[in-house]
């Protein structure tokens, strides 16, 4: 991540109109804000404009006055904007099952400060990973899944999300399909990771299936969840070449590594406010 600790993040989107860049950057100049990073994109197919700016504040900076002044300036563009203060750490709930590689990787990246987030809870349908969460001082909630009362289990999950004030939910190899109701609640702020062998190799032992077919690439996809299983807006993808010398266990090992890297990249994009939803696609600035 390139963001420095002392910068604010300003993100905005609106219909494609003449003067959008000027409206934002001129206002920052007038307020004495120094721009350290600036990216914008205009999607000609959807006629939608997106902008992300990092800036340093002047000594006289007043956040509320800045917000009010910016809202007045961009009202004519029907522009939605978000302002994120320096050193902000997003509150995160991680959902897991039994596989520990993604959880372990994310907790390590949080610990060393690579991902500016605060994991406020780990939720699982199995007790296996509680020692890992406890070692990091993070509350662990084990909600066993009753196949006859899935709604009851999901209500407990949602209660944790609400009570912790989580802004992001990460499905770090959570091996259960969420209900349409929970998917709707989490639409746009829950990230899932899965191997790239879908939809070609579904079901049990996908890497063994891929080995039998002689695949030459394995990889992973991180995406926002929605009610279309594994088909939400894609944030990041990664691939790793394999060949005839790689056995199923080698494919599995490479798959684990690329899942960790791809999920971490997607989370970094999200918490640094680099991801914009544009229908079922994403814009990454």
Catalytic site residue 230? yes
Distance CA 127, CA 130 (A): 6
Predicted TM-score of the model (pTM):
0.93
**191-192-198 Cα angle (round to 5):** 145
Task: Give pLDDT tens digits for 250-271.
Answer: 999 999 999 999 999 999 999 9
Least confident of 26-35, 203-212, 273-282: 203-212
Q: Which helix (H) or strand (E) holds 240?
A: strand 234-241
Mean pLDDT of the chain, nearest integer: 93
Tens-place pLDDT, residues 78-135:
999 999 999 999 999 999 999 999 999 999 999 999 999 999 999 999 999 999 999 9
Catalytic residue among 187, 230, 250, 257: 230
Domains and CATH numbers, the chain: 8-84 (3.30.70.260), 91-284 (3.40.50.170)
| Distance (Å, whole) CA 236 – CA 228 | 18
């Amino acid at each position: 991540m390139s963001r420095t600790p002392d910068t604010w993040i300003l993100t905005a989107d609106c219909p494609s109109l003449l003067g959008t860049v000027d409206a934002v950057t001129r206002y920052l100049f007038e307020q004495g804000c120094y721009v350290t990073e600036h990216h914008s994109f205009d999607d000609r197919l959807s006629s939608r404009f997106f902008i992300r700016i990092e800036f340093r504040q002047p000594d006289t900076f007043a956040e509320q006055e800045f917000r009010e002044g910016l809202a007045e300036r961009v009202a004519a563009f029907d522009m939605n904007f978000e302002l994120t203060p320096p050193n902000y750490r997003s509150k995160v709930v991680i959902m897991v099952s039994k596989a520990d590689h993604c959880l372990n990787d994310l907790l390590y990246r949080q610990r060393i400060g690579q991902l500016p987030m605060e994991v406020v809870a780990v939720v699982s349908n199995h007790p296996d990973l509680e020692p890992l969460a406890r070692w990091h001082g993070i509350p662990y909630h084990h909600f066993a899944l009753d196949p006859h009362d899935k709604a009851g289990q999901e209500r407990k999950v949602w209660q944790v999300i609400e009570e912790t004030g989580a802004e992001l939910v990460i499905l770090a190899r959570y091996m259960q399909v969420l209900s349409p109701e929970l998917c709707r609640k989490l639409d746009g702020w829950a990230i899932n990771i899965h191997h790239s062998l879908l939809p070609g190799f579904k079901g049990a032992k996908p890497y063994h299936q891929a080995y039998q077919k002689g695949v030459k690439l394995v990889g992973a996809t991180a995406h926002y969840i929605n009610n279309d299983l594994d088909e939400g807006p894609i944030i990041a993808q990664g691939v790793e070449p394999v060949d005839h010398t790689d056995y199923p266990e080698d494919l599995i090992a490479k798959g684990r590594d690329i899942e960790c890297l791809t999920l971490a990249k997607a989370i970094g994009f999200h918490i640094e406010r680099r991801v914009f939803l544009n229908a079922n696609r994403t814009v990454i600035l």
